[in-house]
Amino acid sequence: MTRFLARRLLLALIVVFLVTVVTFVILHLLPGGPARGVLGVKATQAQIDAFNRAEGFDQSIPLQYWDYLVRLVHGDLGTSYTLNTDVSTLLGERLPKTLLLTATSTLLGILVALPLGVWQAVRRGRASDVVTTGLAFVLYATPVFFLSLVLIILFAQVLPIFPAQAAQGDDIASLLSQPASLVLPVLAGTGVTAVAYSRYMRSSTVDNLAEDYVRTARAKGTPERTILWRHVWPNSLTSVVSMIGYSVPVVFSGSLVVESMFNYPGVGLLFWTAARNADFPVLLGVVLVIAVTTVLGSLLADVVQLLIDPRVRVPGVKS
């Protein structure tokens, strides 16, 4: 187990390293570089050259990357070109807000999806299953920006119950002080996760119900209810953890869209502004955070799968 964990951690580190290489190189291959965007139309060539010298853009890309890596190891993510602030400070301000949004909607997604998935599996093929599954299909086929829009129309315009944008402010307390403004963004985020999870739960329960141990229990005359809650449900629950782990990229990309729709002041909006202003250090910082979270998520998922079923072949690990 320890050897497995160590090996898996090493692989995770390699992936994060590869992510930094790829994003860094891609950004620095962009034609023109960030100087014009940062300095504006009126900047002279001399000023642009000075900026490029100061930021090290006149050096070769491998050398620039090395500098970046050295600073990264020291915990220095660089300074935003436009906001005069450390990237780490910015992320420190924004990340808790995004985590609040994603954690709440993931939790809600699970609360909806688990019972729903099991219920659908049990009532497989009946009208109620067909209707809810059909609804899930439609929700799955709806782009998140369209879903958010529908929510805004329904609950902020037709029935003006909730505000259509999140509370603005410097810290997470200002968000929590206006809980009503969190309802619609969280709902939109829940839409993303609930569909994915209920789908997963339904089919995993269906598979479980067809397993030998269920047949044995049935043959022994165990009541269907007991089978479901004593045998199938615990099995499904353990798989939830790995499901959450693997769904980190989905949740994050959903959050990028949801944040821009509801003007939610998290990492997603930071990413949009940075992209708009060619703010490379911020872009690199956000991508790095998402990558690390994704890698940690799948690491968690792998470990849990291994705990459940040691025979599982985890990628990169010989059984």
Partner 1 sequence: MRRGLGRLAAVVCCLLLAACAGGRARHGGSNTVSFALPPSATPNWILPLAIPGYTASYNGVIQSALFVPLYAYDGSSGAVGMDQQASAANPPVYAADGKSVTITLKPLTWSDGAPVTSEDVQFYLDLIRAAKDDWGAYTKGLMPDNVTGFHIVDDHTFTLTLDKTYNPGWFTANQLTLITPLPRQAWAHDPDPRKTFDYLVAQAKNLGGYNTDPLWKVVDGPYALESFSPTGQVTLAKNPSYTGQDGSHLDKITFLTFTSSAAEYNVLLAGGVDYGYVPTTNLGQRPKLESMGYKVQPWNGWSITYIPYNFNNPALGKAFQQLYLRQAIQHAVDQKAISQVIWRGTASPGYGPVPQDNDPTFLSPQQKTNPYPFDLDTSRRLLSDHGWRPDPDGILACREPDECGPGIAAGTRLSMTLLTESGSDETDGTMQELKSELSKVGIELRINAQPLNTVLANGTTCEPTSPACAWQLSYFGTQGSWYFPAYPSGEQLFATDAGVNFGNYRDKPTDDLINASTLATSPQSMVDYSARLAQQLPVIWMPNPPYQVSAIDASLHGVVQDPMAGLQPQRWYR
Partner 2 sequence: MTTIALPTRFAVGSNRLATAGAVILGLVVLFCLAGPLAYHSDQVHTALDAARLSPGQQGHPLGTDDLGYDVLGRLMVAGRTSLAIGVLAGLLATAIGAVWGALAGYAGGWLDAVLMRIVDTGVAIPALFLLLVAATLVTPSIPVLSLVIGGVSWLVPARLMRAEAATLRERDFVKAITVMGAGRLRVVFGHLLPNAVGTLVVAGTFQIADAILLVAYVSFLGLGVPPPATDWGAMLSKSITYTYDGAWWLILPPGIAIVLVVCAINFVGDGLRDAFAARGRA
Give the three-state DSSP class for 278.
coil
**By rule CB under 8 A, what count of residues binds partner 2?**
62
Give the three-state DSSP class for 79.
strand
Q: Which region, judged by CB under 8 A, interacts with partner 1, from 1-9, 32-40, 125-133, 285-293?
A: 32-40
Q: Which region, judged by CB under 8 A, interacts with partner 2, from 13-21, 35-43, 170-178, 222-230?
A: 13-21
Q: Does 77 bind partner 1 (CB under 8 A)?
A: no
Q: Does 252 bind partner 1 (CB under 8 A)?
A: no
Q: Please list, in sequence order, all residues whose beta carbon lies within 8 angstroms of the beta carbon of residue 86, skipping any fewer than 6 positions away.
A: 76, 77, 78, 79, 80
**C-beta separation of 248 from 297 below 8 A:** yes
Radius of gyration of the chain (CA): 24
Decide which of partner 1, partner 2, none touches 291; Cβ closer than 5 to 8 Å per partner kind: partner 2
CA–CA distance, 9 with 299 (Å, rounded to integer) = 8
Q: How far is CA 267 from the centre of its chain?
A: 11
CA–CA distance, 207 with 26 (Å, rounded to integer) = 43
Retrieve residue 132's tokens.
Answer: 């809810």
The one-letter code for the residue type at 235 is: N
Q: Within 10 Å of residue 224's Cβ, how many Cβ atoms? A: 12
Q: Does 219 bind partner 1 (CB under 8 A)?
A: no
Q: Which region, judged by CB under 8 A, interacts with partner 1, from 25-33, 59-67, 96-104, 136-144?
A: 25-33
Decide which of partner 1, partner 2, none touches 282; Cβ closer than 5 to 8 Å per partner kind: none
Minimal distance in Å, beta carbon 186 to partner 1? 16
CA–CA distance, 30 with 232 (Å, rounded to integer) = 52
**C-beta separation of 308 from 240 below 8 A:** no
Q: Which region, judged by CB under 8 A, interacts with partner 1, from 109-117, 151-159, 283-291, 304-312?
A: 151-159
Residue 128 burial by Cβ neighbours in a 10 Å radius (0-12, 13-18, 19+): exposed
CA–CA distance, 34 with 48 (Å, rounded to integer) = 9
**C-beta separation of 268 from 105 below 8 A:** no
Decide which of partner 2, partner 1, none touches 249; Cβ closer than 5 to 8 Å per partner kind: partner 2
Minimal distance in Å, beta carbon 47 to partner 1? 4
Retrieve residue 253's tokens.
Answer: 């990309």
**By rule CB under 8 A, what count of residues binds partner 1?**
52
Q: Which region, judged by CB under 8 A, interacts with partner 2, from 20-28, 102-110, 161-169, 213-221?
A: 20-28
Q: What's the full length of the chain, in residues?
A: 319
Binding letters toward partner 2, positions 81-120, x by CB under 8 A: ----------------------------------------
CA–CA distance, 196 with 27 (Å, rounded to integer) = 32
Interface residue list for partner 1 (CB under 8 A):
30-47, 50-51, 81-85, 145, 148-149, 152-153, 156-158, 160, 162-165, 168, 170, 260-263, 265, 269, 272-273, 275-278
Which residues of this protein are in contact with partner 2, per CB under 8 A?
Answer: 11, 14-16, 18-19, 22-23, 26-27, 29-31, 124-125, 129-130, 133-134, 136-138, 140-146, 149, 153, 192, 195-196, 199-200, 202-204, 206, 243, 246-247, 249-250, 252-254, 256-257, 271, 275, 283, 287, 290-291, 294-295, 298, 313, 315-316
